[in-house]
Structure 1
Amino acid sequence: MSRRKSTLKLTTGECIDEVQRLLREKLSHDSVTTQVFGLETQRRHLLDIIKRCVNMGESNSAIIIGPRGSGKSMILKSILEEVKLEDNVQDNLLEVHLNGLLQTDDKVALKEITRQLQLENTVGDKVFGSFAETLSFLLEALKSGDKKTSRPVLFILDEFDLFAHHKNQTLLYNLFDISQSAQTPIAVFGLTCRLDVIELLEKRVKSRFSHRQIHIFSSLSFDEYIDAFLDILSLPKTFPDKNFTKEWNSHIQSLNDDNITIDVLRRIYQNNKSIGALKRLLLLPVCRLSEDHPFIRSTDLLESCQYLTMDSKAAMLHGVSVLELCLIIAMKHLTTLYDGDPVNFQMVYNEYQKFIQRRGHSVQCYEKAVVLKAFEHLLALEMIKPADGGQRSQKEYRPMMLLVDAMQIDDALQKYPNCPTEVKQWNMTEFHA
């Protein structure tokens, strides 16, 4: 059966569908099948803590700190996948995943712990005097003998800093307290972006924390970044059609020699070294695969890069009206004249009127009320913002600041469909009061 499967030949369409399924899984679900790049030291440290808890019943706690997308969750997932392959761990290890954005107080967190440990029937209608009693009862229910034969529990607290805002930090106190005692073996891992997270903890919580901090700052070199690119896109040996696998992997290797591909990867690398950013770059090219377009091309990567690095403010400017463009140009000229000081609507309206009188034979003239409405729309789009700290003042005289720069305006005018020539010329003209 296995020999027949290994020599299976699929149609091109079936191959593409299977490729998309595999690669989308890699790109969209933090797949742990891809190699962990640039974080080997941190991974070994975490693996040692988890193995000590699982195999020796040694409780511990640690906080994993790093910016978003740096690989905090990915490392933990890859370690758990590895640990679960051991025979004595598969049916023994328990995991509890909590998130500070979802479990907003300790009662909600306790319900979630009970649900994930599947102990709803054990708790039943019992009444407990405190949070600590309830948690202790839950963990006691998992014991199957002494410390060595009790089922180890891993608590993974995402957005850990938000748990520090819970009343009295009861959940953290009890988890860290149990991890310091000789009760059920547990390991508590907090994942956070905040470097000052320890300062948020109460004194009694700090005293029970192991003070083990693991910092995840990717030190990926560009060569390792390219290796990650090739690793993500390459098909595994288990892919059904061996001929297509060979052809696909050969094509992916050839991308590595393409100057456009290298330039795109370098641009993304210089902006964001995380594997998450690389996966976002590859998602669009993978989704565009079809029978007519069976392989990823360097131009697909270039187009995806342009989408990812697109200036959102400049893109929004492409959708505003000609009147709103005129107001932005008027505001730009006034801001330059007054060295960046705020300007109000009345000043902008006066400049708009001057432009209409000088060159506006091809630009429609609007009444003041309509112009004010357009100005308010720019405020709603956050192209401009009040500079008076929220103080109430008459609409026409409220000081405003422009939130788009000259380069963004120039780019928008170049790409704006059917933009009047007079408006473009006005933008390029040096302003004089």
Structure 2
Amino acid sequence: MSKRKSKDSSFSLGECIATVHMILRARFCHHLPGKPFGVEAQYKNLMDLLKQTAVHGESNSLLIVGPRGAGKTMLLKSVLDELMQMKQVKENLLQVHLNGLLQTDVKIALKEITRQLQLENVVGDKVFGSFAENLAFLLEALKKGNRSSSRPVLFVLDEFDLFAHHKNQTLLYSLLDVAQSAQTPVAVVGLTCRLDVLELLEKRVKSRFSHRQIHLLNTFGFKQYVSMFQQQLSLPKEFPDGRFAQEWNQNIQSLCRDKTVEDILQKHFNSSKDFRSLHMLLMFTLSHVAVSNPNIRLTDLVAASRLCTMDSKANVLHGVNPKRWTSRPGLSVLEFCLIIAMKHLNSIYEGEPFNFEMVYNEFQKFIQRKTHSMHNFEKPVVLKAFEHLHQLELIKPLEGVSVRTQKEYQLVKLLLDSSQIMDALQKYPQCPTDVRLWASSSLE
């Protein structure tokens, strides 16, 4: 194994690759801070508000609103990363992160607040009459010993709208009441994807909220998207092996100038501009990097793009397990014939639902015309194949159909379109010619 030396360390190629995976996977999975794109104004606004609490001791409350994957968490982490570089903020600011999916009631939220503030020993076995009294005691315990001022506390409420479903919205009321009273420097930052979140708040909660909102709508253009792609894949200056990092970053720059890469990114940009879809593309691309392939190649990005845009229903037809991305036995010829029969029924009845008996009759017509190429299966065998298509979720029973109805007569719908079926047949190994012709024929 070759060695790559830098001024500060001597790293083997394997160690460099392992470090690359560790840095980039953390960046993609945990939305680690990075330079914000297209949200400079929102970044400055959030920075000013949090600095007022962290440095000047002023209480604030605000909401960061935007669709999923718009970069709300990344924006907040970027601001906090810059703030924590200030010595005064690093030594004083305390952070409490709550999530509406995890802290489903006040008791759970209170335990989590106590744990994150490391005040379990202070609380002990004390009994409080209300959540507000308990919270006030916790904040009082944070006061410095040498002076009367309290340490500023930042409360981050992810899935903010779910906290509105708590009984009497006690948590929101107590936090916003503390922020409004200005007794303790507290910043309450909520993250939500609901534009109507304020309508969910009770009147007493809404009256204590500052009504500050920061909206993220992904307004950046394609050039910024390419820059984001490059920035997310680039290694930092602090990488242990400077020479390896320089070669890696030069390779990423050359990739961004490639016309094929530009076409792939344009396709993903037109489909979805959110950070999550970009991170998924980059994660699949990074999975190809190994000691035998120490740099990202164009073919790696093409393969990753194909995985991201692959049709899950087509995967089932082609014999691919979409959950594990592994090969498995595909559909039998009989099952394909039933799908073709359903395709023709869709054409005849213009998308109306059908049942097994109708599919079986259509299949029998084909068998009678082409007896030399297909075995005439017994009806229970055909029914078993039909049920297997149901298990694979390629057909779906109509909602509201009585369970007492015999399965041969239950109405179903085909969840595949004609192009998916024809594409699968073209890739099906050793498919009888008569079956292909039947699929492409128009019925009388």
1:236 aligns with 2:236: yes
Aligned to 2:438: 426
Higher RCO (CA-CA < 8 Å; seq separation 6+) = 1
**1:406 Cα shift?**
0.9
Rounded to whole Å, the distance in 1 between the matches of 2:193 and 2:402 is 34
Whether the 8 Å contact between 1:60 and 1:188 is mirrored in structure 2 is yes
**1:66 Cα shift?**
1.3
1:346 aligns with 2:360: no
Contiguous gaps of at least 5 residues in structure 2:
319-329
Q: Name the aligned partner's letter for residue 263 of structure 1.
A: D
**Mean alpha-carbon deviation: is it higher for 61-70 or for 378-387?**
378-387
1:283 aligns with 2:288: no
Secondary structure at 1:151 match in 2: coil
Please list, as runs of the form range in 1=range in 2, the aligned pairs for 1:89-238 lying within 5 A after superposition.
Answer: 89-144=89-144, 149-238=149-238
**1:8 Cα shift?**
4.6
Please list, as runs of the form range in 1=range in 2, the aligned pairs for 1:27-106 lying within 5 A after superposition.
Answer: 27-32=28-33, 34-106=34-106
Give the alignment's TM-score, normalised by structure 1: 0.93
**1:11 Cα shift?**
4.0
Aligned to 1:23: 24
Secondary structure at 1:6 match in 2: coil
Whether the 8 Å contact between 1:388 and 1:398 is mirrored in structure 2 is no
Aligned to 1:298: 298
Residues 234-269 of structure 1 show CA distances to partners (whole Å, capped at 9, x for unaligned) of: 233333433333332222221122111111111111
Rounded to whole Å, the distance in 2 between the matches of 1:207 and 1:423 is 69
Q: Name the aligned partner's letter for residue 238 of structure 2.
A: T
Alpha-carbon spacing, 1:262–1:93, altered in 2? closer, same or farther (3 Å): same
Residues 88-139 of structure 1 show CA distances to partners (whole Å, capped at 9, x for unaligned) of: 1112111111111111111111111111111111111111111222122212
Q: Name the aligned partner's letter for residue 331 of structure 2.
A: V
Aligned partner of 1:398 among 380, 404, 410: 410
Rounded to whole Å, the distance in 2 between the matches of 1:133 and 1:238 is 46
Rounded to whole Å, the distance in 1 between the matches of 2:53 and 2:80 is 12
**Mean alpha-carbon deviation: is it higher for 323-332 or for 8-17?**
8-17
Rounded to whole Å, the distance in 2 between the matches of 1:241 and 1:107 is 48
Secondary structure at 2:273 match in 1: coil
Please list, as runs of the form range in 1=range in 2, the aligned pairs for 1:257-336 lying within 5 A after superposition.
Answer: 257-318=257-318, 319-336=330-347
**1:173 Cα shift?**
1.4
Rounded to whole Å, the distance in 2 between the matches of 1:348 and 1:275 is 44
**Mean alpha-carbon deviation: is it higher for 37-46 or for 20-29?**
20-29
**1:328 Cα shift?**
1.8
Aligned to 2:400: 389
Residues 31-71 of structure 1 show CA distances to partners (whole Å, capped at 9, x for unaligned) of: 21x31111111111111111111112211211211121111
Whether the 8 Å contact between 2:139 and 2:150 is mirrored in structure 1 is no
Secondary structure at 2:25 match in 1: helix
Q: Name the aligned partner's letter for residue 162 of structure 2.
A: L
Whether the 8 Å contact between 1:147 and 1:185 is mirrored in structure 2 is no
Alpha-carbon spacing, 1:238–1:117, altered in 2? closer, same or farther (3 Å): closer
Secondary structure at 1:284 match in 2: helix
Whether the 8 Å contact between 1:56 and 1:148 is mirrored in structure 2 is no
Rounded to whole Å, the distance in 2 between the matches of 1:188 and 1:362 is 71
**Mean alpha-carbon deviation: is it higher for 357-366 or for 169-178?**
357-366
Residues 391-415 of structure 1 show CA distances to partners (whole Å, capped at 9, x for unaligned) of: 3333222221211111111122222
Aligned to 2:323: none
Rounded to whole Å, the distance in 1 between the matches of 2:142 and 2:358 is 72
Rounded to whole Å, the distance in 2 between the matches of 1:375 and 1:110 is 53
Residues 310-367 of structure 1 show CA distances to partners (whole Å, capped at 9, x for unaligned) of: 0111111223333222222211211121111111121111111222222253334333
Rounded to whole Å, the distance in 1 between the matches of 2:79 and 2:371 is 67
Alpha-carbon spacing, 1:105–1:366, altered in 2? closer, same or farther (3 Å): farther
Give the alignment's TM-score, normalised by structure 2: 0.90
Rounded to whole Å, the distance in 2 between the matches of 1:182 and 1:15 is 50
Whether the 8 Å contact between 2:63 and 2:212 is mirrored in structure 1 is yes
Aligned to 1:369: 380
Whether the 8 Å contact between 2:68 and 2:274 is mirrored in structure 1 is no
Alpha-carbon spacing, 1:273–1:241, altered in 2? closer, same or farther (3 Å): same
**1:369 Cα shift?**
2.4
**1:85 Cα shift?**
1.0
Aligned to 1:409: 421
Secondary structure at 2:214 match in 1: strand
Q: Name the aligned partner's letter for residue 254 of structure 1.
A: S
Whether the 8 Å contact between 2:401 and 2:411 is mirrored in structure 1 is no
* RMSD of aligned Cα (Å): 2.1
**Mean alpha-carbon deviation: is it higher for 362-371 or for 249-258?**
362-371
Rounded to whole Å, the distance in 1 between the matches of 2:292 and 2:189 is 47
Contiguous gaps of at least 5 residues in structure 1:
none
Count of matched residue pairs: 428
Whether the 8 Å contact between 1:142 and 1:151 is mirrored in structure 2 is yes
